Amino acid sequence: MLDKLRTRLAHADALPLLAVLGLFTGLVTGGVIILFRILIDMLQMGFLPGGDVENYEGLSAFWRFTLPTLGGLLIGLLFQFAGGAQVGVVHVLERLVYFQGHLPLRNMLMQFFGGALSIVSGHSVGREGPSVHLGAASGSLLGQGLQLPNNSIQTLLACGVAAAIAASFNTPIAGVIFAMEVILMEYTIAGFAPVILAAVSATAVSRLAFGAAPAFIVPPMDMVSLLELPNMLVMGIVIGSLAALFIGQLQRVTRFGARFPIWQRMTLGGGFVGLCGLLVPAVMGIGYDTVNAAMLGELGLGFLLLVVAAKVVATTVGLGLGLPGGLIGPTLMIGACAGGALGIVAEYLFPGQVASPGFYAMLGMGAMMSATLQAPLAALMALMELTYNPHIILPGMLAVVVSDIIASHVFGRDSVFLVLLRARGLDYRSTPLAQALRRIGVASVMNTSLTTATRTLSRQAAEDLLIDEPLHVLVMEDGQPLSLLLAADLARYLATHPDEAEIDLLEIPAQRDDIRPIDMQATLQQALDEMNEHSVDALYVTFGENIVGTLSRQSVEAHYR
């Protein structure tokens, strides 16, 4: 039954089975995220003043510097001891593109404890980066444990990502769009359905644990009139420029930090965040209390600008030097404070004619997230779900799109995750051909009409090979596959040479192909890459120690022509 399940899932249209697996992935991911959040909250409530998980401002100056520095040192030693385990969203993208979505358990554990320690230490990071990794690994490890084909494992990885975002922030729609727009970078019906079910089930699990309240509690706000739309245009330009600066700074620090051992650069990153925390305590931690205050219009212009500058520096240095945390949370805070500052300026220039600075803070939050990730739909949906305010859609669309255009086309910045991936010497290959072939498993295309034979055999043995009318004969030598022969050519040779007593399968006139192995879990993209790399036109498919079929270049090409 399990073998039939694997073969069925190798097809591009195995939607019902993927939907069930997506639902289960969401439940597993939701549980993992709950454990992650409880661990962080319990540690923070244990030492922060008043048991407030955001109250890093209440710490003494000594601890505002010492806590991030010691945290950086401990994380650095942990990762150094573990051999430099890779974590975060960039690691997920790397494993998706270069390892067919197979994420290691060890890296997941390093992300769980390293990410929690980084957040608790007051570093300028968010929890969505660790959450994405934990969710992706949950889906990937489920698929690996069941030995599913790689096209299904990649879908379960996306299910885990959507479920993690949904469970972490109570934003199921944003989770789905983030998984499709940022991770898979494609939209398909077969991909959407299981990802949606994963987000729904994870959100349900999360709401059982933490309730259904949105992340930010703010009153309903709206524009005063359509005459404010030019202000949103200006906001998009300013925040798009700020996002380009953020990405460029993060890229430079990442390259600078690569020359140091892991423990040194993480300690340095923690110490730098501690220095920023001495000057501007609000930059420490996730900072949702500051974001909420900005959206309520409780912060002044000078403070908002100071937080923007300090948060950009603390985040780019901390994350650039390798501290394991997310960058979406910091971008939300930077955008909210920048938007709030622009709202105060607009209120000063046009008194009584514009919305409150809090409304501009909301829009700035979405614009900064969008321009940094190059993910406008995910940012817009996250903005609406985080605030439960539908009035932001129209002005938000303008601010988000303009900020995207400024960051990407005026300053030439790609998504921050792609920039960091390239800083590792890698790239995200996501052509239409690669996307099409990634969705199909080798098991659904391979030909199982196959028999094996040694290179030389008697006439009787050759005739016995053809009794079941196989399509191919796999020629073996010293127990290893050597060449692929059309069975029809062998039959033709036997018919035209009735007196031949011994047959050499590599000498008779026939169409033969050099051949390479491919695992049955592989996708057609992997198969085509293997053929191109080794200049062969056929592969033999293995499952464990067994040879279960063959795959030709023609059969692969038939799926994208």
Q: How far is CA 230 from the centre of its chain?
A: 35
What is the spatial distance between Cα 340 and Cα 348, in angstroms, rounded to a whole number? 12
Is the model's pLDDT at 431 over the cut of 70?
no
Determine the average pLDDT of the residues in 23-34: 95
The answer to whether 338 touches 312, Cβ cutoff 8 Å, is: no
What is the spatial distance between Cα 285 and Cα 288, in angstroms, rounded to a whole number? 9
Please list, in sequence order, all residues whose beta carbon lies within 8 angstroms of the beta carbon of residue 71, skipping any fewer than 6 positions away: 117, 118, 120, 121, 122, 123, 270
Determine the average pLDDT of the residues in 387-391: 83
Which pLDDT does position 190 carry in this prediction?
63
Which pLDDT does position 226 carry in this prediction?
85
Which pLDDT does position 399 carry in this prediction?
93
pLDDT band at 59 (very low <50, low <70, confident <90, very high): very high
Dihedral (CA of 300, 301, 302, 308) sign: positive
Determine the average pLDDT of the residues in 342-365: 91
Q: Where are the alpha helices (DSSP H) in 392-544?
A: 393-405, 416-423, 432-438, 459-465, 487-496, 524-534
Is the model's pLDDT at 430 over the cut of 70?
no
The answer to whether 388 touches 214, Cβ cutoff 8 Å, is: yes
Determine the average pLDDT of the residues in 157-179: 92
Which pLDDT does position 560 carry in this prediction?
64
Determine the average pLDDT of the residues in 302-312: 95
Which pLDDT does position 487 carry in this prediction?
85
Q: Where are the alpha helices (DSSP H) in 55-188?
A: 61-81, 89-98, 105-120, 128-145, 150-169, 172-178
pLDDT band at 12 (very low <50, low <70, confident <90, very high): low
Determine the average pLDDT of the residues in 273-281: 93
Is the model's pLDDT at 84 over the cut of 80?
no
- Pick the most confident of 49-63, 216-230, 302-316, 343-357: 302-316
> What proportion of the chain, given as a percentage, has pLDDT over 90?
46
pLDDT band at 183 (very low <50, low <70, confident <90, very high): confident
pLDDT band at 277 (very low <50, low <70, confident <90, very high): very high
Which pLDDT does position 264 carry in this prediction?
92
Of the ranges 115-124, 172-181, 421-430, which one carries the lowest mean pLDDT score? 421-430
Which pLDDT does position 561 carry in this prediction?
59
Q: What is the largest CA-CA distance in the chain?
A: 104
Amino acid letter, 473: V
Report in angstroms the alpha-carbon separations of 523 from 12, 483, 541, 556.
10, 22, 11, 10
DSSP at 211: -
- Pick the most confident of 290-304, 416-430, 450-464, 498-512: 290-304
Is the model's pLDDT at 307 over the cut of 80?
yes
What's this model's pTM, rounded to 2 decimal places? 0.86
Determine the average pLDDT of the residues in 330-349: 94
Beta-bridge mates of residue 178: none
Is the model's pLDDT at 363 over the cut of 90?
yes
Q: What is the residue-averaged pLDDT of the chain?
A: 88
Is the model's pLDDT at 187 over the cut of 80?
no
DSSP at 536: -
| Residue 495: exposure state from Cβ atoms within 10 A (0-12, 13-18, ≥19) | exposed
Determine the average pLDDT of the residues in 503-530: 85
Which pLDDT does position 26 carry in this prediction?
96
The answer to whether 94 touches 426, Cβ cutoff 8 Å, is: yes
Q: How far is CA 65 from the centre of its chain?
A: 32
The answer to whether 415 touches 183, Cβ cutoff 8 Å, is: no
- What is the CA angle 154-404-388, rounded to 5? 75
| CB atoms closer than 10 angstroms to residue 469 | 10
Is the model's pLDDT at 344 over the cut of 80?
yes
pLDDT band at 66 (very low <50, low <70, confident <90, very high): very high
Is the model's pLDDT at 163 over the cut of 90?
yes
What is the spatial distance between Cα 188 and Cα 155, in angstroms, rounded to a whole number? 11
Phi, psi angle pair for 440, to nearest 5°:
-120, 135
Determine the average pLDDT of the residues in 339-366: 91
What is the spatial distance between Cα 99 and Cα 1, in angstroms, rounded to a whole number? 27
Is the model's pLDDT at 268 over the cut of 80?
yes
**SS3 of residue 523 by DSSP:** strand
Which pLDDT does position 188 carry in this prediction?
67
Length of the chain: 561
Which pLDDT does position 429 carry in this prediction?
64
Determine the average pLDDT of the residues in 189-203: 87
Buried b (16+ CB within 10 A) or exposed e, 24-51: bbbebbbbbbbebbebbeebbeeebeee
What is the spatial distance between Cα 143 and Cα 312, in angstroms, rounded to a whole number? 38
The answer to whether 142 touches 52, Cβ cutoff 8 Å, is: no
Is the model's pLDDT at 439 over the cut of 90?
no
Q: Domains in the chain and their CATH numbers?
A: 2-215 (1.10.3080.10), 226-423 (1.10.3080.10), 439-557 (3.10.580.10)
DSSP letter for each residue of 357-426: HHHHHHHHHHHHHHHHHT-HHHHHHHHHHHHT-GGGHHHHHHHHHHHHHIIIIIS----HHHHHHHHTT-
Is the model's pLDDT at 168 over the cut of 80?
yes
